[in-house]
């Protein structure tokens, strides 16, 4: 099993969710986050005053998938989240040692 973490632009969330649903992935967690990288923030105007926003709003998506689905899931996220502009985000893939469904006690791949 693998944990996929993707940081994407907020307006791309529905497209990414739809792409993953088409692969048969049944669940994910999405969190509103803020951060910066090469995008370095942005300049905004509020009440006629200009100021720099150091942290850019993003969405963090987390999902655990079977090993045989990882490559297709990563490709689907990348294709759906891409705008070809700076700040499109990042995808990270990590091993998951154990998973447990609390309600039923199902473990590992059965818990997904």
User: Which uninterrupted H or E stretch holds 39?
Assistant: none
Q: Residue ranges per domain, the chain?
A: 1-108
Q: Give per-residue pLDDT as tens, 4-56.
A: 999 999 999 999 999 999 999 989 999 999 887 776 666 656 677 766 667 78
pTM of structure? 0.85
Amino acid 87: pLDDT:
85
Say whether domain 1-108 belongs to CATH 3.20.20.70: no
Helix (H) or strand (E) holding 19: helix 13-22
Q: Pick the closest to residue 87 from 61, 55, 52 (CA basis).
A: 55
């Amino acid at each position: 099993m693998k944990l996929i973490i993707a940081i994407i632009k907020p307006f791309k969330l529905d497209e990414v969710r739809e792409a993953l649903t088409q692969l048969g992935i049944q669940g994910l967690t999405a969190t509103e986050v803020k951060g910066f990288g090469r995008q370095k923030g942005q300049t905004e105007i509020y009440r006629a005053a200009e100021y720099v926003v150091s942290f850019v709003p993003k969405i963090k998506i987390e999902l655990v998938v079977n090993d045989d689905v990882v490559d297709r899931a990563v490709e689907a996220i990348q294709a759906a989240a891409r705008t070809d502009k700076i700040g499109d985000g990042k995808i990270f893939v990590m091993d998951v040692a154990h998973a447990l469904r609390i309600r039923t006690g199902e473990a590992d791949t059965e818990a997904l």
